[in-house]
Amino acid sequence: MQETSRYFMELAYDGTNYHGWQKQPHSISVQEVIDDGLKKMLREDIRIQGAGRTDTGVHAAYMVAHFNYSGTLDIEHLIYRLNRWIPKDIAIYDIKPVQETAHARFHATKRSYEYHFLLRPDPFQVNQAYVLFREPDFKLMEQAASILLEYKDFECFSRVNTDVKTFLCDLTEARFEFKDHKVIFHITANRFLRNMVRAIVGTLLEIGYGKRTVESMHDIIASKDRSQAGASAAASGLFLTKIEYPKELFL
């Protein structure tokens, strides 16, 4: 009997047409589409495990998922066949052999997200950015974003009734980048809570529009109460962009 091997799959997707990453009843998900493709190509009931769970409409410029396979894998041929079979809004970039205990979610050491704003409508980015028809004060938003780096507990930005054991996250980046008519908010941490980035962006927007002060960010975080933070920003502007792992996981 052939020994089962584990692989990391690197991929990207436009989340517009999917009810998030995770497989769920009565709704199409990215995970389900890839599972179905692997089952068809490898003739084995394969279930991939993603590095995280993006919500409905959220995109991933870079996602990692692991899976097991008991046969001999022709990686280049599998990537080619999968990309021909799956919808064009999902792309498989690479498949790499890893240690048998490697876990796409639990062994990730750092994750990065971007939130894309447009300062004018763009017909080519209808579902890939959030259009700001009235420009907020980005200087105030930058000041408020820097406050995030002073804290570890982000329960105030977490989805309520979540099953996580801790709300602690080690943020190492929270900054804005300005490119012509686009503004990109970059945020990096060892882990993120469900809905955390969209809640942060929504709160920053309220500060940028003068509905809250920069200093209120301290009170919001200290409250540990989701109702004290701003409304979640639209899913369309959010991208998972980077996931890092220890080198020793790869064969």
pLDDT digits (tens, 9 = 90+) for 161-203: 887 889 999 999 999 999 999 999 999 999 999 999 999 999 9
Q: Hey, what CATH class is 110-242 in?
A: alpha beta
Q: By percentage, how much of the chain surpasses pLDDT 70?
A: 99
pTM, two decimal places: 0.95
pLDDT value of position 166: 94
- Is the pLDDT at 1 greater than 60? The verdict is no
Average pLDDT, the chain: 96
The verdict on whether 55 is a catalytic residue reads: yes
Q: Which of 14, 35, 45, 55 is catalytic?
A: 55
Asked, colleague to colleague, whether 5-106 and 110-242 share their fold, the answer is yes
d(CA 237, CA 184): 9
At 141, is the pLDDT very low, low, confident or very high (cuts 50, 70, 90)?
Answer: very high
**For the residues 67-88, what does the mean pLDDT come to?**
96
What DSSP assignment string belongs to the chain? -PPPEEEEEEEEE-GGGSS-SS-BTTB--HHHHHHHHHHHHHSS----EESS---TT-EEEEEEEEEEESS---HHHHHHHHHHHS-TTEEEEEEEEE-TT--TTTT--EEEEEEEEESS--TT-TTSSEE-SS---HHHHHHHHHHHTT-SB-GGGSPTT---S--B--EEEEEEEEETTEEEEEEEES---TTHHHHHHHHHHHHHTTSS-TTHHHHHHHHT-GGGSPPPPPGGGEEEEEEE--GGGB-
Q: Which of these, 89, 63, 118, 90, lies nearest to 237 by C-alpha position?
A: 118
Q: Which of these, 181, 173, 178, lies nearest to 241 by C-alpha position?
A: 173
Which residue ranges make up each domain of the chain? Answer: 5-106, 110-242
Return the amino acid letter for 86: I
pLDDT digits (tens, 9 = 90+) for 196-240: 999 999 999 999 999 999 999 999 999 999 999 999 999 999 999
For residue 110, with 0-12 CB atoms within 10 Å meaning exposed, 13-18 middle and 19 or more buried, which class applies?
middle
Check whether 113 is labelled as a binding-site residue. yes
Question: Does domain 5-106 sit in CATH 3.40.50.880?
Answer: no
